């Protein structure tokens, strides 16, 4: 049975705590929520930090606190920092990479989001990619449009990315790519044509979380993504209790597809992180 990495995006950049109080915000809440998700089978955590009123610390201090807590309480779990964030100052977005997380998200082009243009200028993308390479951080390429795959290929050609990056297709963001099975086939076909050694996953936003996960598993995805960043509900009527509940739901779907949830060791092998520090 081909193991599947379960990635959990615990928080996100949109203030959703008022919609679901289970969304973890403080570093302590984020560490606790990640630990619950880890116990439920998640082997990768995708982290955004927020500077709320409750804390004067910088983004880097908050990332450092969450990273340290996850390393301590969730041995082997892959730590991935977000370098995204809607409306965030571009200079801030790569400012925590010196902490050398295992992975960091990397968008390779711009896209319309619900209320803003998510700007990723070519020079900025190259600068972030170089920072990741120089810090030994494995990028996760965020694909919000077909052209972002070609943005990744250009980074490979420039020596800023290896030839087997990990790629995430993001579907169902308002004004960006719809969650559509045919579109996933189209994206996947292009990925296999131009970056045949890449590993991949797909994220469905909101009510598309489950269907996108199912389509990805049916197409032998290396990983799936869940978590309260993308979706705060279990059903239309009921909010998710926590990130762990969403991880359990992902685990059930993985089993139904005849696969199993990867351990942290397996996840590190699948995503080519085995050579990184032992935690």
Give the footprint of Mg ion on this chain (CB under 5 A): 82
- Least separation in angstroms between CB 80 and Mg ion: 9
DSSP letter, residue 116: S
- Give the residue at shortest CB distance from Mg ion: 82
- Least separation in angstroms between CB 159 and Mg ion: 26
* Residues 218, 22: Cα–Cα separation, whole Å: 30
User: Between residues 45 and 149, which has the closer beta carbon with respect to Mg ion?
Assistant: 45
* Residues 229, 233: Cα–Cα separation, whole Å: 11
User: Between residues 82 and 201, which has the closer beta carbon with respect to Mg ion?
Assistant: 82
- Least separation in angstroms between CB 17 and Mg ion: 16
Three-state DSSP class for residue 47: strand
- Least separation in angstroms between CB 32 and Mg ion: 19
Report strand pairing: 111-112 vs 117-118.
Answer: antiparallel
- Least separation in angstroms between CB 258 and Mg ion: 29
Query: CB count, 10 Å around CB of 249?
Result: 18
How many helices (H) and strands (E) in the chain?
A: 9, 11
Phi/psi of residue 44, each to 5°?
-140, 130
User: Between residues 83 and 257, which has the closer beta carbon with respect to Mg ion?
Assistant: 83
- Least separation in angstroms between CB 70 and Mg ion: 16
DSSP letter, residue 233: B
* Residues 24, 97: Cα–Cα separation, whole Å: 22
Task: Dihedral sign for Cα 199, 204, 209, 215, please.
Answer: negative
User: Between residues 34 and 82, which has the closer beta carbon with respect to Mg ion?
Assistant: 82
User: Between residues 82 and 96, which has the closer beta carbon with respect to Mg ion?
Assistant: 82
User: Between residues 66 and 257, which has the closer beta carbon with respect to Mg ion?
Assistant: 66
Task: Confirm if 99 and 118 have CB atoms less than 8 A apart.
Answer: no
| Residue of 43, 20, 102 whose CA lies nearest to 251 | 43
């Amino acid at each position: 049975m081909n193991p599947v990495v379960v990635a959990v995006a615990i928080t996100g950049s949109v203030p959703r705590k008022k919609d679901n109080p289970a969304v973890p915000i403080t570093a302590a809440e984020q560490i606790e929520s990640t630990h619950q998700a880890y116990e439920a089978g998640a082997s990768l955590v995708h982290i955004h930090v927020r500077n709320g009123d409750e804390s004067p610390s910088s983004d880097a201090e908050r990332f450092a606190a969450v990273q340290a807590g996850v390393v301590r309480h969730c041995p082997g779990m892959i730590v991935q920092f977000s370098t995204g964030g809607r409306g965030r100052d571009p200079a801030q977005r790569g400012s925590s990479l010196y902490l050398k997380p295992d992975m960091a998200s990397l968008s390779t082009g711009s896209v319309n989001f619900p209320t803003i243009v998510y700007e990723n200028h070519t020079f900025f993308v190259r600068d972030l990619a170089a920072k990741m390479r120089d810090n030994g951080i494995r990028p996760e390429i965020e694909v919000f449009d077909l052209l972002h795959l070609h943005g990744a290929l250009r980074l490979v050609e420039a020596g800023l990315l290896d030839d087997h990056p990990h790629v995430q297709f993001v579907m169902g963001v308002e004004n960006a790519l719809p969650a559509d099975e045919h579109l996933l086939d189209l994206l996947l076909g292009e990925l296999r044509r131009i970056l045949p050694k890449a590993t991949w996953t797909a994220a469905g936003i909101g009510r598309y979380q489950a269907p996108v996960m199912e389509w990805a598993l049916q197409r032998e995805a290396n990983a799936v993504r869940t978590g309260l960043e993308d979706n705060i509900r279990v059903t239309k009527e009921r909010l998710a209790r926590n990130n762990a509940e969403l991880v359990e739901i992902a685990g059930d779907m993985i089993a139904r597809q005849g696969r199993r949830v990867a351990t942290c060791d397996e996840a590190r092998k699948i995503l080519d992180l085995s050579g990184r520090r032992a935690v």
